[in-house]
Every structure is written in C-alpha cells, then in structure tokens.
Amino acid sequence: MTIDMSQFYQVFFEESAELLEEMERLLLELDVADAGKDALNAIFRTAHSIKGGSATFGFTEITETTHILESLLDKLRNGELPVRVEMVDVFLKAVDVIKNQLAGRQYESAVDDQAVAEICRQLSAFAQEGPAEAVVQTSAAQAPQADAVATPAPAADDAEPVDPTPENLFAILTGAKIAVAPVAAAAPVPGAAGAAASDAYGFFTEVAPAQAKAPVPPPAPAADQNPGRRATDAAGDAPPKRGRRASDHVDTETTSIRVGVEKVDQLINLVGELVITQAMLAQTASHVDSALYEALRTGMAQLEHNTRDLQESVMSIRMMPISFVFSRFPRVVRDLAGSLNKQVELKTVGEGTELDKGLIEKIADPLNHLVRNSLDHGVESPEKRLAAGKPAMGTITLRAFHQGGNIVIEVSDDGAGLNREKILAKARERGMTVSDDMPDQDVWLLIFEAGFSTAEAVTAVSGRGVGMDVVKRNIYAMGGRVEIDSTLGVGTRISIRLPLTLAILDGMSVSVGEEIFIVPLTFIVESLQPAKDDIKTITGMGTVVHVRGEYLPVVALYDVLNVRPKVTELDRGIMVIVESEGAKSAMFVDDLLGQHQVVIKSLETNYRKVPGVSGATIMGDGKVALILDVEALARGTFREEERRAA
C-alpha cells in the first residue's frame, strides 16, 4: 500500500501560513529586554512545527531553513543566548524567506535563493557567537555558587517552578546531584508496561542499554544541558501558564473545517438562485385566492422565511474577521516606524468584526496605503511631538465595527492633522477648482485626488502622490465610501464604509420605459421631481437641475442607455440625485419602483462588459434588471457634454 502525501500538501501550506503569522505576531509582541520563556517557547514551537511538517512532506529546503531557525530559537529559550533586537529583525526576515520558500512549493513561484542563504548565514552567525556570550552570562549569574560547574545554568532558575514531588520526574531529573535518581524513580513506570516493554523498547533503536540495564546512570552530558532544558519546557508548558490564547487556538482547531472557497461560492450562488426562485413563486402565489389556497399561502410564507434564514447562514460562511487584515499591520508599522525614525504604537480595536472574504482581500491594499500614509505624514517625529507637548510615542489606531448594513474601518492617528491652508494652496497650484469657504470635509477629500501630496519631501514610503487616489478608487469600486475627520495638531481619522458583502447589494429599482434598472443605494443622495423652473440649460454644462443652491448636470438614462422612455419631459419624471467621485449629478428616470436587496450576477462572466452597467440581477418576477455603474455614467455625461460643446 502506498500513501499519497500530496493530498495533505494543502493542509500543510495553510497550516504553515498560519504558523508563520503566529510567529510574526509573537515576535512583534516579544519584549526583547525581558523575553518570557512562554513567549520564546511558543515562537520555537511555530518553527518546530513547520520544520516537522516540511520534513514529513519532503520539502527539504524548508526543513533546512527552519532547522537553522529552530536551533537558534532553541538556544534562546534555553537561556544559552540572550535575545537581541537584531535577532528579532532577522527572525522576521526569516519569516518572509520561509513564506517565499513555501510559495515556491505551493505555486511554483520563484524562490530567492540568495535571500535564503543570507538568512541562514545570519541565523547561524547568531548561533555561532553563542557559546562565548553564554559562558559569560552563566558565570556571571552563578558567581555566588561554588558548584557552578555541577549545576547547569538554566536549571538553577528553572528547577524552582517545578514541584519536586515524586510524581514529577522532571523535577528529579533536573536535580543533577543524584544522577541515579531519575532512572530509579522512573523504573516503576516502564515496569508497568510489563512484557511489552522489552520488545517495544526495541524502537529506541539507538538506545544501547536494554531494560535490565536501566539502573545505569545516564551519560554525563545528559545530566548537564538537557535536564535543564526539559525543566524549562515543563515549566513553560504547564497548562495554567499558557493562558487563553492557547485554548482559543485549540478551539478553532477542533471545531472548524477547511473547505475550498469555490465550494462556498457555489453554495452562495445556489442560494442566490433559490432566493430568486422563491421570489418568483411568491409573486405568482400572490395572485391566488388566499381563502381557497390557504395552505399554499402558509407554505409560501414559510418558504420565504426559511430561504432568508438560509441565505443569511450561507452568506455568513464567507464572513471572516477583519483580524486577517489587521494582523499584518504590527509588522508594517514596526518596519516603517524604524525606517522613518519614529516611535509609533499600533492599536487595533474590533478585530473580530466580520466581513466578506472578497472584501477582506480587496481592503488590504487600501488599508496598507492609509496606514503608511498615517505613519509617514500623520505621526510626527519624536522631537516634534515632544515640542508640541505630546508623548514621543505616536499612536495609530485601526478600528472596525458594524453600523447598519455596513462595516466601518477607521485608520486614525494622533499626529499633526491635515493643514487646510496647505491643501487648498496645493489644490490651486494643481489647477483644481476650490474655494476658501469649502467645508472641511470636502477639503480633506482633496487628498484623495490624483497627483496630490502636501508632503514637503518625497519619501520612499509615501508622498509621491500616487496611491491615495488609487485607495479611493479601490474603495469606491467595492461599493464603499471614504470620509476624513482631521484637526490640526490633534490627529486625523479616515473612515472607510463598506457593504458587508459583495454578493448582495442594496439598490433602488427605477424604471425607464419598459426596462428596470438598479441604482446602488450607496450612491443615492435623494430623489425628487423637479419644478419646471429648476431645469436650465447652461453653456458648457448642458442641461442642469437646480437643487438646494447647486446646479447638477442631468443624466437622462433613456438617452445614455438608448431606451425608449415613457416620459421625456424632465419635470414629469424623477431625478435621482447621485454622488460619485465627490461630484453630484441627477439621473433622470421615469419612476422609482422600490428598494431591494439584489443578488449580483456578473455580466462579464455571463456575457461581456457593458459600459454604464456594473452587473445584473434577477427580479422577483424573473425579469433581468441591470445594475447601473453610477460612476461611469456620471463621468460619461461630462465627456459627452464636452464633446457636444466642442
């Protein structure tokens, strides 16, 4: 019988990725000056587990790297070497290198062999310099003890927490004074194994002495280093000391299953279809006489209820805690703060807040930009902070919470805040139309415009003015919005508001002629029927509608989408005021039909990309309705008008 190991590769890759994340988190939390045994043990174990796995699956290059890493970590947790900041840096780099190696195996991507070799060299170098320093430490620590040679250094500290009862063999083992003791004490236990023991001990293939020879004291080296190490382990692994994190880990391990994303997506799709079918049935059933078909009506009501519950449950499968994204930032902040010579503390709040997996993947980049930006432009240098009467250590806070059907993610810093005058000056310099009495909110949003940067010096981190506009575009593409609050000298808070899922959208259905379109609710400011006087034609802007002191360009959907409308007189239809990319416009439609949650179907996968349309959905009556791409429509009009004007 042969066993195909490849079926377990995926589990190994996922597990290793988690372990590396865990290692990175532990490293970042590690207090170098006072590195606890528990922490060092936990870090050691992550490396150890990856090594074990990679060895089992025959990924020898990963085994080699992790072995070198593990060896050094072993020395640290045994107290043979002191932990140094440079080591943590190299460990973090090693995490990256191992990630790279894993990716090499998983995706057959290129592995940076030079980086691997370099990390291995650095790790080995740390391990090499070990003995000398360790000796110094040992002798210093043990100066008062006369029998320093007989008692191994770690054991001196570590034997203490171990309860020296007869049951606890480790305690006896660490008592290096009586070398015979461990074997004598241990004897009854294997003895209990009875007849099986003599045969079974054969598995200790390299163990020379048989059971009968057990009373022979273990070889000398065993008595010096390793008992001490075992004591360390025993103390470190004692259940009460491990705390909550360990048990959390176990809980997720034993109560969750891994399923491919495509399976979940298929499930979501099927439920989407079910919702549509249910809606169609409901619509049909609504016409039957409820007195005659009472059972049918009751059944339909039940079906609707169950369908909705099922949909919610299925959607929740794709929901993941935002900690998946947040967890990468301690590293980002640490690295960046170091290179900018700033002192920054990162706080995260609401890591358990859940959102759709698709959004999690897409929000990571924009958040990364925002955090970098906060670090680079927001938080001041320690000197400036002290001069301003602030603590030298700046704080960046990542916060996530649910609000209505949205998730709000905030990136805030207690830095310099945005400078209104500077932004306005810069905007004028760049030829943007701004006015001095613009509300702050609008001024702040200018920093999201393309090519906008008020930083005096361009840094490698941010400040080339690329990025922030991409951030905004990405967030809008997810159906989200951005808001900024800032106070000069106090700090800045950027809030991202996202829908909970990409698969369902809150929309307003509108009719144009025989067609039904869906306008995503996030874009809609208000809807109104304009008075005849409010509609004007202005040179260069085409038709505009006057709403609360603003002249908004009119986008007549029937015209743009080439549909025969029921109404063409602008004062007899409805204006749906939408806001996109900071500009408002009025979409002219025949009528408003209602508000729905619609299941988004991609047009691109099923048909092709259509300008002005972002997707489609199936309505309750089985008809297809197109979901409007509000941004493109709003932009398209301006171009259209320009063309006409020219």
Partner 1 sequence: MAKSILAVDDSASIRSMVSFTLKSAGYEVVEAVDGVDAMTKAKATAMDLVLTDHNMPRMDGLTLVRSLRELPGYRSAPILILTTESSQDMKNQGKAAGATGWLVKPFDPQRLIEVVRKVLG
* Chain residues in the site for partner 1 (CB under 8 A): 1-3, 5, 7-8, 11-12, 15, 42, 44-45, 48-49, 51-53, 55-58, 167, 169, 173, 182-183, 186, 189-190, 192-194, 196-197, 199-204, 206-207, 218-219, 221-222, 226, 230, 233-234, 237, 239, 242, 246-247, 249-250, 253-254
Q: Is residue 630 within 8 Å of 578, Cβ to Cβ?
A: yes
- Whole-angstrom CA distances from 627 to 25, 69, 211, 477, 622 are 42, 53, 78, 14, 15
Tokens at residue 255, please? 């109560």
Closer to partner 1 at the Cβ: 98 or 268? 98
Q: Is residue 88 within 8 Å of 72, Cβ to Cβ?
A: no
| Helix-then-strand count for the chain, H and E | 25, 18
Tokens at residue 398, please? 């990542």
Q: How far is the CB of 550 from partner 1 (least distance, A)?
A: 59
Q: Is residue 483 within 8 Å of 495, Cβ to Cβ?
A: yes
Q: How far is the CB of 203 from partner 1 (least distance, A)?
A: 3
Closer to partner 1 at the Cβ: 1 or 457? 1
Closer to partner 1 at the Cβ: 194 or 404? 194
What per-residue string of b and e applies to 271-293 under the rule 16 or more CB within 10 Å gives b?
bbebbbebbbbbeebeeeeeeee
Complete DSSP assignment for 284-309? HHTTS-TTTTHHHHHHHHHHHHHHHH
Q: How far is the CB of 468 from partner 1 (least distance, A)?
A: 41
Report the sign of the C-alpha dihedral through residues 468, 470, 476, 480, in that order.
negative
Closer to partner 1 at the Cβ: 95 or 315? 95
Closer to partner 1 at the Cβ: 186 or 528? 186
Closer to partner 1 at the Cβ: 73 or 619? 73
Q: How far is the CB of 187 from partner 1 (least distance, A)?
A: 9
Q: How far is the CB of 55 from partner 1 (least distance, A)?
A: 4
Closer to partner 1 at the Cβ: 235 or 599? 235
What is the distance between the alpha carbons of residues 66 and 49, in angstroms, rounded to a whole number? 9
What is the distance between the alpha carbons of residues 119 and 96, in angstroms, rounded to a whole number? 10
Strand order in the sheet with 481-487: 344-349, 394-403, 406-413, 491-499, 481-487
Q: How far is the CB of 70 from partner 1 (least distance, A)?
A: 9
Closer to partner 1 at the Cβ: 42 or 556? 42
Strand partners, 319: 356
Q: How far is the CB of 8 from partner 1 (least distance, A)?
A: 5
Q: How far is the CB of 199 from partner 1 (least distance, A)?
A: 8
- Whole-angstrom CA distances from 225 to 392, 416, 587 are 44, 54, 79
| Rounded-to-10 torsion of CA 183, 189, 195, 199 | -50
Q: How far is the CB of 204 from partner 1 (least distance, A)?
A: 5
Closer to partner 1 at the Cβ: 52 or 611? 52
Closer to partner 1 at the Cβ: 6 or 341? 6
Residues 6+ apart with CB under 8 A from 352: 321, 322, 323
Q: How far is the CB of 19 from partner 1 (least distance, A)?
A: 8
Closer to partner 1 at the Cβ: 105 or 426? 105
Q: How far is the CB of 253 from partner 1 (least distance, A)?
A: 5
Closer to partner 1 at the Cβ: 200 or 270? 200
Angle between helices 113-128 and 130-142 (to 10 degrees): 30
Q: How far is the CB of 198 from partner 1 (least distance, A)?
A: 11
What is the distance between the alpha carbons of residues 94 and 88, in angstroms, rounded to a whole number? 9
Closer to partner 1 at the Cβ: 252 or 266? 252
Closer to partner 1 at the Cβ: 232 or 278? 232
Closer to partner 1 at the Cβ: 16 or 486? 16
Closest CA to 333 of 381, 372, 369: 372
Q: Is residue 626 within 8 Å of 573, Cβ to Cβ?
A: no
What is the distance between the alpha carbons of residues 158 and 233, in angstroms, rounded to a whole number? 9
- Whole-angstrom CA distances from 111 to 101, 104, 115, 116, 402 are 6, 6, 9, 8, 40
Q: Is residue 396 within 8 Å of 345, Cβ to Cβ?
A: yes
Q: Is residue 326 within 8 Å of 348, Cβ to Cβ?
A: yes
Tell me if residue 496 falls in helix, strand or coil: strand
Report strand pairing: 583-589 vs 550-556: parallel
Tell me if residue 568 falls in helix, strand or coil: coil
Q: How far is the CB of 206 from partner 1 (least distance, A)?
A: 6
Q: How far is the CB of 183 from partner 1 (least distance, A)?
A: 7
Q: How far is the CB of 480 from partner 1 (least distance, A)?
A: 35
What is the distance between the alpha carbons of residues 602 and 604, in angstroms, rounded to a whole number? 5
